[in-house]
Amino acid sequence: MATPQPGIGDWYRLNGGALFEVVALDDDDGTIELQYFDGTVEEMDIEDWEAQWEDGALESAEAPEDWSGSVDVEGGDEEGRSGESLGEDHDLRASPLDGIDLFE
């Protein structure tokens, strides 16, 4: 079986069960950048990729349903907020004049 060429956005699983996504390819250096589901980023040589595929240490996998593991997002993360909820009368859009110094 031929070794598949990894593509950005493709998901794979290591023999031990670690799920990762291919996030970058560098043909000049011959490297593949991987991001594991927990957010860890690692670089692998294309030769190592081919060897691990041939040894059966890598396999294609489906993208996880819960993608938030690799992007470090926590639900309900309110750190740095005053704790007051915003009412409907608060406009969260920036004014087009925000940031303009009128006295320059």
User: Is 19 within a domain?
Assistant: yes
Domain assignment of residue 21, yes or no: yes
- How far is the C-alpha of 47 from the C-alpha of 61, rounded, in Å? 20
Compare 27 and 86 and report the one with higher pLDDT.
Answer: 27
| Structural domain boundaries enclosing 16 | 11-62
Task: Please calculate the CA angle 82-98-86 and round it to the nearest 5 degrees.
Answer: 30
Higher pLDDT, 84 or 30: 30
49-52 long-range CB contacts below 8 Å, 24 or more apart?
49/3, 49/6, 50/3, 52/14
Percentage, residues of the chain above pLDDT 70 = 63
What is the predicted pLDDT for the residue at 38? 86
pTM beyond 0.85: the answer is no
Q: How far apart are CA 15 and CA 55, in angstroms?
A: 10
Does 41 fall in a domain? yes
